[in-house]
Amino acid sequence: MKYKKEYCYGGEKRDGADDFVTAYIAENGKRIEVEFIGNSRIGYAMNGKSYYKLKDAKNAAEVE
């Protein structure tokens, strides 16, 4: 399955070196949010569940 990245400042396109990914949107419409505390990424969230690895969140997006 393919995913689009959503950036903080640039939307679907990266807008400079300090822009960062805030979400991944799957072809099936599932949205994986990147969870942050300050400037540090702590995990990923989808449908109220948290995942430590992006791979686990993407696997869940394909199953649900």
Burial label, 40 (beta-carbon count in 10 A; 0-12, 13-18, 19+): exposed
pLDDT tens-digit map of 20-55: 899 999 999 999 999 998 778 789 999 999 999 999
The pTM is what?
0.85
Q: What is the pLDDT of residue 64?
A: 67
Residue-wise DSSP of the chain? --EEEEETTTBTS--STT--EEEEEETTS-EEEEEEETTEEEEEEETTEEESSHHHHHHHHHH-
Report the C-alpha gap between 56 and 20 in whole angstroms. 20
